[in-house]
Amino acid sequence: MPAHEPEIQTQARTILDRIASTPFDRCQPLTREFQSIPARPGIYAVRHRTDGLLYIGKTKSLRGRFSGGHKAFLWAWLDKYQDEDVRIAVQLIPHSENPALLLELEAIILRATEPPYNVQIPPER
């Protein structure tokens, strides 16, 4: 196990705790503009009011990801959910110039949560 592994596991757990425990009414509502979402790197969760986490993702620009159209929203809107019941929880990742770090954090969080709209990721080797 690399020396930084426990630190990344801890960081991933902290991120997951924050995006999962943010009260639904404090998550970002779905709008066409997404102006309230920062244009910074981070991990995000698409959450349902009662069903919980639907999708987890990472991006170099949170606002850019959503304003460019995001397939998770299409799945949620076209599936059984009403748009007012789906919101976005975001966690900015400071010093995330390293795309590999975002990818690793996302993978750890996905393994822990297995949201229904994420593509199945391979098990850790």
Structure-block tokens of residue 68:
């460019």
Between CA 24 and CA 53 the distance in angstroms is: 11
C-alpha distance from residue 59 to each of 37, 56, 82 (Å): 12, 10, 25
High-pLDDT (> 70) share of the chain, %: 78
- Is the model's pLDDT at 108 over the cut of 80? yes
79-88: pLDDT as tens digits:
778 878 888 9
Mean pLDDT of 65-69: 75
pTM: 0.81
Between CA 7 and CA 9 the distance in angstroms is: 5
- Is the model's pLDDT at 69 over the cut of 90? no
Query: 115 and 54 in contact (C-beta within 8 Å)?
Result: yes
Between CA 38 and CA 100 the distance in angstroms is: 21
Q: What is the mean pLDDT of the chain?
A: 82
CATH architecture of 5-113: 3-Layer(aba) Sandwich (3.40)
For the chain, the domains span 5-113
Question: Which of 35 and 88 is assigned the larger pLDDT?
Answer: 88
Between CA 33 and CA 10 the distance in angstroms is: 33
Query: 65 and 72 in contact (C-beta within 8 Å)?
Result: no
Mean pLDDT of 61-75: 75
HSE-up of 124 (CA within 13 Å, CB side)?
12
Strand partners for 36: none
Between CA 83 and CA 91 the distance in angstroms is: 21
